[in-house]
Amino acid sequence: MAIIDLDITHEHCPMTLVKTKLALSRLSHGDILSVTLKEGEPLNNIPRAVEEQGFRVLSITKTPEKEIYRVDITLKSQMKIFGITGTLGAGKGTVVEYMIERYHFRHYSVRAYLLENIRQRNLPENRDSMVIVANDLREKYGNSFIVDELYKTALAHHCPAIIESIRTPGEIDSLKNKGNFILLSVDAPPETRYQRILCRQSETDRVSYQDFLENEKREMHSDNPAKQNLAACIARADFSFYNSADKETLYKEIDKMMQAMTN
């Protein structure tokens, strides 16, 4: 994998497109061309033109510099990338672990990405900080910024991947638009889910049952596409699992899904 930078902020049409196409002609599978360009004609035309030429636009991100954007582009791939959403403690991690072990998926975690940012900001490692940092990144760089970054990393490795976990409709819109994306959801009774988080005892799970319910309620609905809306995400899943029994039952449901996709 190589990330190739191209700055066309000082170019004008048609050289903006000419230089972009020339750089794209040198890409290998897994490479990403990161184009820095101005708002207006380049931003309006370059993404559309490269998609028409058979390339994939991974993300469009506003930079801190006024009226300057970054467009990341790569070759199209038939590789499947999964995302997973669901309620707290429902078993998203269990699904991920099984897909890694049984089907050799690579795992990319929004939680790990956020924890790294939380530590960089010297914030407490709890669910409040995760919500604050996630919403801040999405509002600054776009609704799908976090998952777009993980998607680019996954695509570069050119093997089946799963992104854990999807929490906003804006993230789903972006990933669906990239193609070859499948969304899974997991749910279970709240009492069962609370007992599960007590057992795993991660940094963000040391809470009372009432706090657990309040945390979930806060993340279930929002009118802002940049903020957590688990209910809307779950409703848009391609495959859904109700994980109220044991792991073996869940594994069988995952196997049925994978078999259905290959038929």
Residue pLDDT, tens place only, 72-95: 998 876 678 999 999 999 999 999
CB 186 within 8 A of CB 243: yes
Amino acid at 188: A
Radius of gyration, CA atoms only, the chain: 20
Active centre residues (catalytic): 13
Tell me: do 118 and 232 sit in the same domain: yes
State the CATH number of the domain containing residue 44: 3.30.110.40
How many structural domains are present in the chain?
Answer: 2
Tell me: do 29 and 117 sit in the same domain: no
User: Which two tokens mark 87?
Assistant: 């309620």
pLDDT tens-digit readout, 117-171: 999 999 998 888 988 998 899 888 888 999 999 998 888 777 889 999 899 898 9
Which of 25-29, 44-48, 67-71, 114-118 comes out lowest in average pLDDT? 25-29
Tell me: do 137 and 48 sit in the same domain: no
pLDDT tens-digit readout, 201-256: 776 667 889 989 988 898 899 888 777 899 999 999 999 999 999 999 999 999 99
Tell me: do 258 and 156 sit in the same domain: yes
**Domain with 29 in it:** 3-75
In the sheet that holds 68-75, the strands lie side by side as 3-7, 32-38, 68-75, 55-62
CB 60 within 8 A of CB 47: yes
Tell me: do 158 and 212 sit in the same domain: yes
Tell me: do 192 and 115 sit in the same domain: yes
Tell me: do 15 and 137 sit in the same domain: no
Tell me: do 57 and 128 sit in the same domain: no
